Amino acid sequence: MRERSSRQLPVRLAPFTDELLSSWLWRHATFYAVPPLVMLQHCLPEVASLRAADLDLSAVQASRLANAFSMAPGAVRAMTFATVNKASRRLIGAKPLQACLHCRPAL
């Protein structure tokens, strides 16, 4: 039997230029009509929040997400702040300053 995290999703939405991983996962969750955290934990059950995925996604986790969404691990990792120096992460805002009203009306 295959692991739950290794299943590929039938529909993958292309990431927008400079889109953050949490936003991309949010769009998939909206498409599949599930909460965003459920979408994330479908692939990475050990990750507690979308913010944690944005900040601390490991290479192994990026590979697992990439497999689920049929894309390159580098493309997934590029949507995160995982390569930002830990001391500088406190300068990254916890909430977006702007958002598309059509994609995320609940802000």
First to last CA, the chain: 39
* Per-residue model confidence as pLDDT tens digits over 19-44: 889 989 999 999 999 999 999 999 89
Residues 6+ apart with CB under 8 A from 95: none
pLDDT interval class at 9 (50, 70, 90): confident
- Rounded average pLDDT over 69-80: 92
Of the CA atoms within 13 Å of residue 21, those in its CB half-sphere come to 28
The mean pLDDT of 60-65, rounded to a whole number, is 94
For residues 58 and 21, what is the distance between their CA atoms, to the nearest angstrom? Answer: 13
Q: Helices 36-43 & 21-32, crossing angle to 10 degrees?
A: 100
Which amino acid, 48?
A: A
The pTM is what?
0.76
